[in-house]
Amino acid sequence: MRLIATITLSLGSALLLAAVTLEAQRGQGAATNAPAPAAAAAQAAPAGNADNGKKIYSSYGCYQCHGYAAQGGAGARLAPRPIAFATFSRYVRRPTGQMPPYTAKVVSDQELADIYAFLTTIPAPPAANTIPILAR
Ligand code: HEC
């Protein structure tokens, strides 16, 4: 009885490991095949430093309402495929809802461009039907 339990257990974990590995491989494939994120919207945006954008997205507190991956939470989803830069910067300066305004004294135009550059680097998630565990 004990032997059967042990065999069942190790078989189970081997299967789980295989599934997780497969999933990870598929995820990578999907990410590399995905179209360039928000290429069209990014064209109209000023050049920004995505690394700095990622840092100030955290230090200026955007993440508190929009989530670390800009996936949304108390605030709207900002990525993947961010809205056009003009609309983006207008909203941050003069929000019309719950969001507090960020003037140019708090977040400079260059810093806004950096945050936007960071948002365009956030990849789209893999399609749900490419995730094996969801396809059952
Ligand atoms: C205190 C919470 C909070 C913080 C902090 C915050 N936001 Fe927001 N944001 C919101 C909410 C809530 C909305 C949804 C609209 C509304 O109610 O204003 C929003 C909407 C937006 C939108 C418009 C999205 C759309 O699709 O129309 C942009 C762009 C945005 N936020 C960017 C930022 C950036 C960049 C920062 C950091 C500099 C930031 N937000 C910080 C709460 C916040």
**Claim to verify: residue 44 and residue 70 sit in the same structural domain:** yes
The domain that contains 117 carries what CATH number? 1.10.760.10
In angstroms, the Cα distances linking 90 to 24, 85, 95, 109 are 38, 8, 8, 11
**Claim to verify: residue 101 and residue 115 sit in the same structural domain:** yes
pTM beyond 0.85, yes or no: no
Confidence of residue 43 (pLDDT cuts 50, 70, 90): low
Peptide bond between residue 37 and the one before it cis (omega within 30 degrees of 0): no
Q: Distance between CA atoms of 136 and 9, rounded to whole angstroms?
A: 22
- Domain residues for the domain of 10 are 2-33
109-131 pLDDT, tens digit each: 999 999 999 999 999 999 989 99
Question: How far apart are the CA of 111 and the centre of ligand 1, in A?
Answer: 15
Query: Is 80 inside any structural domain?
Result: yes
71-105 pLDDT, tens digit each: 999 999 999 999 999 999 999 999 999 999 999 99
Domain count, the chain: 2
Ligand 1 in reach of 102 Cβ (< 6 A): yes
**Claim to verify: residue 50 and residue 67 sit in the same structural domain:** yes
Q: Which atom number of ligand 1 is nearest to the Cα of residue 74? A: 12
Q: Distance between CA atoms of 107 and 20, rounded to whole angstroms?
A: 41
Question: How far apart are the CA of 31 and the centre of ligand 1, in A?
Answer: 27
